[in-house]
Amino acid sequence: MKKFYLTTPLYYPSARLHAGHAYTTLVCDALARYKRLCGYDVAFLTGTDEHGEKLERAAVAAGMTPQDFVATERARIRQLWKLLNIGYTHFVYTDQPEHTISVQRMLLRAQAAGYVYKGHYQGRYCVFDERYIADGTEPADCDICGRPAELISEENYFFRLSAFQDRLLEHYATHPEFVQPDFRRNEVVSFVKSGLRDISISRKRIKWGIPWPDDPEQVFYVWYDALTGYMTGIGYAEGENGSREFQKYWPADCHMIGKDIVRFHAVYWPAFLMAAEMPLPGSVVAHGWLLVDRDKMSKSKGNAVYVEPVEELFRSGTNAMVAGSDALRYYILREIPFGQDASISYEALLQRYNSDLANGLGNLANRTVAMLNQYFGGEVPSLPLGGETEAEKGIARLAAATLVSFRARFDTYDFSRGLEAVWQFIARLNKYLVETEPWALAEADPHASKPRLAAILYTAAEAVRFTTVMLAPVLPQSSERLWKQLGGEGKLENQRLDELRWGGLKSGTRLAPPEIIFRRLDKTPSLRKLGELAAVGPSGSKPEKEKTKRVESQSHPESQPQAVPKISIEDFAKVEMRVGEILTAEPVQGAQKLLKLTVNIGEEVRQVVAGIAEYYKPEEIVGMKVVLVTNLQPRKLRGVESNGMIVAATLGEEGRPVLVTFKEDVPNGARLK
């Protein structure tokens, strides 16, 4: 049996996951189920990336040890995947003991080949993305997330990435499928051709990580650590050459990732593997971002769409027959052209559910099963001689063509157009029932029309069976219900697309009593309920309370202080905060996240640079009364002097800044005490 090893990214367990994270996992689960239908022996891995400075800081902020913090968040993530019916076969977490063996083994192989050396790193580091930025001391934003990067200077171990430039380019040329879609591969090739520099693969000033062999002051860089998890999860740490399972499944056939981590998977990871003389994965497949109102979905922006409310909505009332995870899975696979950014919303999900699942597939299945129960006593009729016309033969040909198109699209990750082909077939079947009017035939002359009626309803039932098998990866729970309604033998997941032939529905098969699986949802009350559920949070938890922080270009919600000691009233009195009125606001050239403000604080006007451009338009804040810390040393941000710091509150788990202001008219320069 052919094998197929598929992975999601290892998720960072630092905050509640939203639909953007669930997207990758739902796509992978559908792909894994599809490959099984195609006869593959599938290994499907997901997991958590549990080391690094970002998590170390998050644990301190939560008042927990890193071990306890990641264990708690890991359990939440696994519960979410259970809720979404994710059928992974392997779950790896990088804090497990076996992973230390894997990472150190990879390092020692690369070290023995001469690709690792000790050096000094001075430059910028993005804590949020756990990545090194360009060398130098000038302030810089991370080119992936846009957050300010911190200046660090420390002794590290380096990987000779520069030695692999030609080998990588040759691999991209001889294996064009290695990076998909094509335009992502073009981006990667362009990046590598521009020149590769050696990269640091250790950290000295943090403790939460895998220890470096023979150097207790160093831990592994989190990306070297995390990527190796794809090997740990299938047994690389066992024995000298990995377990039998590792030898069976490695290399991975598909790393499914978001577009923002392509460089790590398509450049660094194959170079690490080449250095260790390990086989390379078959492909790195990158999808786009989920957008809300044309902006990337993010907890920090307050625009995240969460998946738990969808499941809770469908569990309630008359909708309990269909799993919310099925509706969500169908929506994202059908709505989003894979690889592209796409906007999503609860409203669009409901629209797609009602039009495609309730009105389309649900209507076809319900009418067919109901008429078979009414006119044939709940059994599949035989296809009589003379009852079949060219219309039925055309349906059979269309079914075969739809299967070919569906498989071709899914094989190339074109899920949306694969499902479009299936729904064109469903639309033809619903039209076929309208054209043939089996209900009218039965009422006109039940005895004389029996052969024709049998041909029509057999064709409709066989079409539902055919469709149900194709849709099993996309609607796993709902399709299983349809399969049982049609009297299907065994589990639907054990069917094989290679064996799917028209006419496979046996005459005399006893159907289950009809039941409506896809009920229409009333949009207005459903949207209201989704909003209420999203506001409450998972399992009835209340939203996180607001926390106060100061906002400037170098502060971001992930960079929490490592301790929160109590201070005296005398210490607090040293901080001078005054009321200021924003007179002007304009973007800082070359800095997407910064605004340059002039602020009237009574006796003088100050120039201040604040990292709020992502959340406030300049014209929105001119005239606003704000709080300014006025006795800080001046500093330059992107070459612009900042003489003060704006105070804001933060909303959400990642900290969307909200400027502090006043209900009453407070004079400029008034001091806060």
The tens digit of pLDDT for each residue in 425-454 reads 999 999 999 999 999 998 887 676 788 999
For residue 201, give Cα distances in angstroms to 52, 93, 268.
Answer: 12, 20, 11
pLDDT, mean of residues 180-205: 94
- At residue 614, the pLDDT reads 76
DSSP state of 353: I
What domains are there in the chain, each with its CATH number?
Answer: 3-287 (3.40.50.620), 308-499 (1.10.730.10), 547-672 (2.40.50.140)
The tens digit of pLDDT for each residue in 369-407 reads 999 999 999 999 987 766 678 999 999 999 999 999 999
Higher pLDDT among residues 141 and 269, named by residue: 269
Higher pLDDT among residues 669 and 33, named by residue: 33
The region of weakest confidence among 103-112, 144-153, 634-643 is 144-153
- Residue 625 has phi, psi (to 5 degrees) of -85, 130
- At residue 605, the pLDDT reads 85
- At residue 190, the pLDDT reads 96
pLDDT, mean of residues 122-146: 64
Q: Is 537 exposed, middle or buried (0-12, 13-18, 19+ CB in 10 A)?
A: middle
Across the chain, what does the average pLDDT equal? 87
Residue 560 has pLDDT above 70, yes or no: no
Residue 545 has pLDDT above 60, yes or no: no
- At residue 551, the pLDDT reads 30
Residue 557 has pLDDT above 50, yes or no: no
DSSP, collapsed to helix, strand or coil, labels residue 430 as helix
Q: What is the pTM of this model?
A: 0.77
* Nearest 10 degrees: Cα torsion 454, 457, 458, 462: 180
Of 467, 478, 557, the residue nearest 516 (C-alpha): 478
The region of weakest confidence among 367-371, 408-412, 584-588 is 584-588
Q: How confident is the model at residue 588 (pLDDT cuts 50, 70, 90)?
A: confident
- Residue 637 has phi, psi (to 5 degrees) of -125, 115
pLDDT, mean of residues 551-574: 47
Distance CA 26, CA 326 (A): 10
The tens digit of pLDDT for each residue in 259-296 reads 999 999 999 999 999 999 999 999 999 999 888 766 66
CB neighbours (10 Å) of residue 612? 22
The region of weakest confidence among 3-7, 24-28, 309-313, 425-429 is 309-313
Q: How confident is the model at residue 559 (pLDDT cuts 50, 70, 90)?
A: very low
For residue 615, give Cα distances in angstroms to 393, 545, 573, 612.
Answer: 59, 19, 31, 6
Sequence-distant (6+) residues with CB within 8 A of 392 are 455, 456, 459
- At residue 56, the pLDDT reads 86
